[in-house]
Amino acid sequence: MSPVLEAYGLVKRYGRVTAMDGADFELEAGEVLAVVGDNGAGKSTLIKALSGAVVPDSGQILVDGRLVRFHGPLDARRHGIETVYQDLALAPALDIATNLFLGRERRRKGPLGSVLRRLDSKGMRTDARRVLDELGIDVKSMTQLVETLSGGQRQAVAVARAAAFGSRVVIMDEPTAALGVQESGKVLELIDRIRERGLPVVLISHNMPHVFEIADRVHVHRLGKRVAVVSPKTHSMNAVVGLLTGALRMAEDGSIEEVGLTTGLSR
For the ranges 57-61, 130-134, 218-222, which has the lowest average pLDDT?
Answer: 130-134
pLDDT, tens digit, 9 for 90 and up, residues 133-175: 988 888 889 999 999 998 888 989 998 999 889 889 999 998 8
Q: Is the CA virtual torsion 231, 186, 89, 139 positive or negative?
A: positive
Tally of CB atoms within 10 A around 104: 11
Q: What are phi and psi of 260, to 5 degrees?
A: 95, -10
The predicted pLDDT at position 134 comes to: 87
Could you please report the per-residue DSSP string of the chain? ---SEEEEEEEEEETTEEEEEEEEEEE-TT-EEEEEE-TTSSHHHHHHHHTTSS--SEEEEEETTEEE--SSHHHHHHTTEEEE-TTTT--TTSBHHHHHTTT-PPBPSSHHHHTS--B-HHHHHHHHHHHHHHTT---S-TTSBGGGS-HHHHHHHHHHHHHHH-SSEEEEESTTTT--HHHHHHHHHHHHHHHHTT--EEEE-S-HHHHHHH-SEEEEEETTEEEEEE-TTTS-HHHHHHHHHTSEEE-TTS-EEETT---EE--
pTM: predicted TM-score of the whole model, two decimal places? 0.89
Tally of CB atoms within 10 A around 212: 16
What domains sit in the chain, N to C, each tagged with a CATH number? 5-233 (3.40.50.300)
The predicted pLDDT at position 189 comes to: 92
Of 28, 84, 53, 24, the closest CA to residue 221 belongs to: 24
The predicted pLDDT at position 127 comes to: 92
Q: Which amino acid is at 39?
A: N
For the chain, the average pLDDT equals: 90
pLDDT, tens digit, 9 for 90 and up, residues 200-220: 999 999 999 999 999 999 999
17 has a pLDDT exceeding 80: yes
Tell me what the mean pLDDT of segment 221-233 comes to: 95
For the ranges 71-80, 182-191, 231-240, 253-262, which has the lowest average pLDDT?
Answer: 253-262
* Sheet containing 5-14, strands listed edge to edge, beginning at the edge strand earlier in sequence: 17-27, 5-14, 58-63, 66-68
The predicted pLDDT at position 102 comes to: 87
